[in-house]
Amino acid sequence: MEKSITVGFPVQECQLNEHDTMHAGFIAAAFDEALGIFASLLSGGKSSVSINISLNYIKPIPKDDTIMITAKATSLGRTLITVSGECILKSNGLLTNTALATFAVVG
């Protein structure tokens, strides 16, 4: 069975760029948060820190929507955990971003 979680983030006015779409930095932070929570769960609740995150920006994220980030386990080691992620719009299911992140288990 594949392990995964999905976390939702409403797009807020303060996160918009000059094009009225979600700023790339806020998208990266949302991925880091969602994938990091999952890495911590996979490590049995131990602390973990991101050591690498790679994002692909596919489509802009409009204001007045919610992004849904699904994290999936890619590799589970004793000290390193790799997690992939997909971001879709809650309103229509459109894929907007993908990510791959590695976390070090430190706790």
The whole domain housing 26 covers 4-105
- pTM (two decimals): 0.94
CATH (domain of 41): 3.10.129.10
Q: Give every strand in the sheet of 48-57, ordered side by side.
A: 4-10, 66-76, 80-89, 95-105, 48-57
What value does the mean pLDDT take over residues 40-50?
93
With beta carbons less than 8 A apart as the criterion, state whether 31 and 99 touch: yes
**How would residue 64 be classed by pLDDT, with cut points 50, 70 and 90?**
very high
Q: Is the pLDDT of residue 50 over 90?
A: yes
Number of domains in the chain: 1
